[in-house]
Amino acid sequence: MNRRTAPRGEPGRTVLLRRGEVHSPADPFATAMVVERGHVAWVGSEGAADSFATGVDEVVDLDGALVTPAFTDAHTHLTGTGLALTGLDLSGAGSLPEALALVRAHHEARSPAHGEVLLGHGWDCDNWPERRPPSRAELDGAAPGRPLYLPRIDEHSAVVTTALLDLVPAVSTLPGYHPDAPLTDAAHHAVREAAHGALGPRQRAEAQRAARLRAASLGIGTLHECAGPDISSEEDFTALLALADAEPGPRVHGYWAELISDEKGARRVRELGAWGAAGDLFADGSLGSHTAALRAPYADAAHTGAARLDAAAIAAHVTACTEAGIQAGFHAIGDAAVDAVVEGVRRAAERLGTARVRAARHRVEHAEMLTPDTVAGFAELGLTASVQPAFDAAWGGADGMYATRLGAERAATLNPYAALLRAGVPLAFGSDSPVTPLDPWGTVRAAAFHRTPAHRISVRAAFTAHTRGGWRAVGRDDAGTLVPGAPADYAVWRTGELVVQAPDDRVARWSTDPRSGTPGLPDLTPGRPLPVCLRTVVSGQTVFVRPNE
């Protein structure tokens, strides 16, 4: 890919991209695009591009590269993502001893001056031969005298050292405290607050920059930050939004997960800069930590998890948000939690009118254990399903964590993307990073090649959910696609042959016929290399260029 002028376009410049493949519904065979004042001005053929060549500030020769809308990751935790990128990452540990060795090395490599809290991420004992997490005594031995916070990969429980517990008075009296097992519920939130509270502004900003840079390098132009009092802090949230406004990179739409009951609460959410009182407002926990709220007990534990919100509280929150003109939303994974959300939103609709609730585009994060009734409820109430296909790739299948927690029959019902699309439920794809990594093409692949074949959707539908779907989730229908007038958010990719992939081979064959006018996308068959991002542009401004390109 060659440029005729300077390496960074500015929003006010007019740029012609040509001699490539432009993925656009405006012209399925487009090879060129003009960007002007931060928006797409024209999309069309190479022959027509000649008429623009002398009237633009810059010409980019794509040399056969693919141009697509930039991805939107609809569920992230950016400070945590940056800390995982720059700190102790246990996701690759294959055993308990290996994890402890990584903890010990991390401790020894950092000076204990001022009692610095050590932060890690990503352990998953379900993948270890020992099938158990580190004990407190083992962690104390690996990092003697150091406060250490290690959340499980799902971020809903954590193991810690004694030195960190000492920073949280009366933690042993809180729900979710266990003398020598992962902390959950209020005890977990208390130690997480203490650990993250030890971060200085500089360390926090470095983590946030690292996360945005990684996102930009993967063709992600927009990130939805799902923050809240049980996850981070107001200081962390507002600092992130300020940094994103001040520095080039992917834009950030922030959600603050706090229950509100009136206009005063809604005003406070707005003053924080939040898009809505939504995101990880917990109706329950997670399957991996046995805290997702289920109708029937876990297959490997004699309980049904923990419900955090009932239908009455959900209805009050949705009513207040709808009346205030902001989005509501909830974290709901287990079937009992999803039931409560649908029932609560339905009660709000009975009070305010279904049309008014639908217009607000309230969201549900994760929404893993759905039934035909709750899928129908999502469609009826206009709820957006903000989902993470990488969860199925990581934990689905006959031998995965889902099957261990729920049994094979219930596990096979999880993440039914095809059923949601058939019902007309809007989908927005995300990663929940750092729970699973920022990886947009991998996310599209995970949805198209779901471990349960009945839940698979076409690559095109998955791609739409990860681009336009994220914009629709914030109420914007004019973005996430490369058509004249849309924001110039795009990524340039080195990739192989473009194809059309769908669960039904008959649809795939029809779609690849040139007469169908269906634009192709990279071949995401498992095992094939994923596209490589060469450039990412947000509102006409280049925020990432692959080195040596």
Q: What does the DSSP assignment read for 199-242?
A: --HHHHHHHHHHHHHHHHHTTEEEEEEEE-TTTS-HHHHHHHHH
484 prior amide bond cis, ω within 30:
no
Confidence of residue 509 (pLDDT cuts 50, 70, 90): very low
The pLDDT, as a whole number, for residue 2 is 53
User: CB atoms < 10 A from the CB of 233, how many?
Assistant: 17
The pLDDT, as a whole number, for residue 420 is 98
All domains of the chain in start order, with CATH: 14-69+482-495+531-545 (2.30.40.10), 78-198 (3.10.310.70)
pTM (two decimals): 0.89
Residues 98-118: tens digit of each pLDDT: 999 999 998 888 866 545 788
* Pairing, β 21-22 against β 384-387: unpaired
Per-chain mean pLDDT for the chain: 92
Q: At residue 407, does pLDDT exceed 70? A: yes
Euclidean distance between CA atoms 484 and 34, whole angstroms:
9
Euclidean distance between CA atoms 5 and 347, whole angstroms:
58
Euclidean distance between CA atoms 166 and 150, whole angstroms:
16
Cα angle, residue 85 at apex, residues 446 and 243 outer, rounded to 5°: 100
Q: Which has the closest alpha carbon to 212: 225, 200, 202, 203?
A: 225
Euclidean distance between CA atoms 123 and 95, whole angstroms:
9
The pLDDT, as a whole number, for residue 3 is 44
Residues 23-57: tens digit of each pLDDT: 999 898 999 999 999 999 999 999 899 888 888 99
The pLDDT, as a whole number, for residue 203 is 85
| Element holding 101 (H helix, E strand) | helix 96-108
Residues 299-338: tens digit of each pLDDT: 999 999 999 999 999 999 999 999 999 999 999 999 999 9
Confidence of residue 8 (pLDDT cuts 50, 70, 90): very low
The pLDDT, as a whole number, for residue 387 is 98
Three-class secondary structure of residue 29 per DSSP: coil
Q: Which has the closest alpha carbon to 65: 400, 515, 502, 496?
A: 496
Longest dimension (CA), the chain: 73
Euclidean distance between CA atoms 227 and 230, whole angstroms:
8
Helices (H), 285-414: 311-324, 335-352, 354-360, 372-381, 389-395, 401-406, 408-411
Euclidean distance between CA atoms 256 and 242, whole angstroms:
15
Which range, 98-112, 132-146, 359-373, is most confident? 359-373
**Lowest mean pLDDT: which of 117-131, 206-220, 402-416?**
117-131
Q: At residue 374, does pLDDT exceed 50? A: yes
Question: How crowded is the C-beta side of 522, counted as CA atoms within 13 Å?
Answer: 24
